[in-house]
């Protein structure tokens, strides 16, 4: 049991009064919480005091260190080539990992990525990958390293031994209303990135209705803090602040999002997902020194256009036990919902989209979970085929509902007119990349 520097209530009182706690205080508090010396209600009080009073940048860095020290870390130092980790703060239709990771692996970078599952209105990379028949996400650290050495890419579930204090604190924050703290979010994100072992970290920080950070100024501040934490701990770190006021990709749902990602890799699905994947891949190439800023976009175009990124995706699927035919015939290989119904509300212009509620609607069809222990239906969800500013006609679907039953499909169809507004006149498209932090000289692609 750790020897706390002062009585825990004294430290809680200091935070309540707006004082800054030392790194040693925070480290011992986290150690005490994990050992049982600091009670759940005491940690809850400390978190609430910090959310109300605010944690400093120094406290965020110290808390990150304490979370990393609570468990194992991954050693990637023996891998050849630059190691990189790409992380998104989550949203709706966000399948960038399935596109960006093969692009970067094909470029010679190495990605040993630990991912999570979906909860609420946001999807999880592991759930999406598991919709591929046979795909296995439970890899040991040795299996991950061997696979990355062989093909440059592995995506797996984090073990219970990796940053366990973050898992406990996240669950506590979830039930005590202390999630919305920039410092706590940054420490949670960056502790996993640092423990994951990559020497370069690229963050995609979402903002808008479908993001955890709805206000752009909050997302920008989070991106800047994460970059400072990563840099302070010897990781070359950068971030893009990107729009999540509408679904990123056309698919919302596990198998549907995999199919859409494959079509992006095949050059068959232009749109915002394709645009952002190219932006993120170019940024990672610059961050790792693999390509100059002026050359990175053309390099990404070549990796996609030549089929090299698609072939790396195929090898990745095979390496983790999945059916490689998903790279050729995704809609045939992946699970399909029994009921697929189109919504054609036109004519008019899409004037607004309620992104979070679209994610929640897909989750209610069975594509997501309310509790971590819930199962997901890999086949169900939505395709949202129009974005703000698009003109739609009566003979073109704006959305498709993929449902398990006709009743579910009809219920979702009845909701769609309340979630996608169709009006008249011209509406400006919503910008996608809003800000770059820790990167300079990377040209816009759109």
Q: What is the pLDDT of residues 52-74, one digit of tens each?
A: 999 999 999 999 999 999 999 88
Q: Comparing C-alpha atoms, which of 376, 312, 321, 378 is closest to residue 138?
A: 321
For residue 166, indicate whether it is catalytic. Answer: yes
Residue linked to tokens 């219920």 = 411
Q: Could you tell me the maximum CA-CA distance found in the chain, to the nearest angstrom?
A: 70
Decide if 87 is catalytic: yes
pLDDT above 90 (res 78):
no
H-type alpha helices, 239-347: 254-265, 272-287, 296-305, 308-319, 330-333
Sorted by where each starts, the structural domains of the chain and their CATH numbers stand as 8-54 (1.20.970.10), 84-329 (3.40.1030.10), 335-423 (3.90.1170.30)
Which of 88, 115, 181, 188 is catalytic? The answer is: 188
| 274: annotated active-site residue | no
Are the beta carbons of 240 and 440 closer than 8 angstroms?
no
In the set 28, 87, 145, 269, the catalytic residue is 87
- Tell me which residue has tokens 């790409």: 86
What residues contact 233, with CB distance under 8 A and at least 6 apart?
61, 64, 65, 190, 194
**If we measure between CA atoms, which residue out of 105, 87, 88 comes closest to residue 154?**
105
226-277 pLDDT, tens per residue?
999 999 999 999 999 999 999 999 999 999 999 999 999 999 999 999 999 9
CA atoms within 13 A on the CB side of 243: 19
- Structural tokens at position 367: 């594509």
Task: Look up 57 and say whether it is catalytic.
Answer: no
Average pLDDT over residues 143-170: 90
Alpha carbon of residue 326 to chain centroid: 22
- 391 has catalytic annotation: no
pLDDT tens digits, one per residue of 357-367: 999 999 999 99
């Amino acid at each position: 049991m750790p020897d706390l520097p002062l009585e825990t209530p004294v430290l809680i009182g200091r935070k309540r009064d707006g004082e800054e706690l030392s790194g040693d205080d925070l480290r011992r508090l986290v150690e005490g919480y994990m050992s049982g010396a600091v009670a759940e209600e005491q940690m809850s009080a400390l978190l609430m005091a910090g959310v109300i009073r605010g944690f400093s940048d120094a406290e965020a860095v110290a808390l990150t260190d304490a979370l990393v020290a609570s468990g194992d870390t991954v050693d990637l130092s023996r891998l050849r080539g630059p190691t990189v980790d790409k992380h998104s703060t989550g949203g709706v239709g966000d399948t960038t990992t399935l596109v960006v990771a093969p692009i970067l692996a094909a470029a010679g970078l190495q990605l040993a990525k630990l991912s999570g599952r979906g909860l609420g209105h946001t999807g999880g990379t592991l759930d999406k990958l598991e919709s591929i028949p046979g795909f296995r996400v439970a890899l040991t650290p040795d299996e991950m390293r061997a696979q990355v050495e062989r093909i440059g890419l592995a995506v797996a579930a984090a073990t219970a031994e990796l940053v366990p204090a973050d898992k406990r604190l996240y669950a506590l924050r979830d039930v005590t209303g202390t999630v919305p703290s920039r410092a706590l979010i940054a420490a949670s994100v960056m502790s996993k990135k640092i423990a994951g072992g990559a020497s370069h970290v690229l963050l995609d920080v979402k903002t808008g209705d479908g993001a955890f950070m709805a206000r752009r100024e909050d997302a920008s501040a989070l991106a800047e803090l994460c970059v400072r934490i990563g840099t302070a701990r010897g990781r070359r770190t950068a971030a893009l602040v990107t729009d999540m006021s509408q679904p990123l990709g056309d698919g919302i749902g596990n198998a549907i999002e995999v199919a859409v990602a494959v079509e992006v890799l095949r050059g068959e699905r232009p749109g915002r997902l394709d645009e952002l994947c190219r932006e993120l891949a170019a940024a990672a190439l610059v961050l790792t020194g693999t390509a100059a800023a002026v050359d990175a976009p053309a390099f990404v175009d070549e990796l996609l256009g030549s089929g090299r990124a698609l072939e790396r995706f195929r090898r990745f699927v095979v390496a983790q036990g999945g059916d490689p035919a998903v790279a050729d015939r995704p809609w045939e290989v992946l699970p399909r919902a029994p009921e697929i119904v189109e919504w054609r509300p036109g004519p008019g212009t899409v004037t607004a989209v309620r992104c979070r509620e679209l994610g929640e609607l897909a989750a209610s069809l069975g594509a997501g979970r309310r509790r971590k222990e819930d199962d997901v239906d890999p086949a169900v969800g939505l395709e949202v085929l129009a974005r703000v500013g698009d003109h739609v006609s009566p003979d073109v679907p704006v959305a498709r509902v993929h449902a398990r039953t006709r009743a579910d499909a009809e219920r979702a169809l009845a909701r769609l007119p309340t979630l996608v507004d169709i009006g008249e006149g011209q509406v400006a498209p919503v910008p996608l990349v809003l800000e770059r932090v820790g990167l300079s000289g990377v040209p816009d692609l759109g």
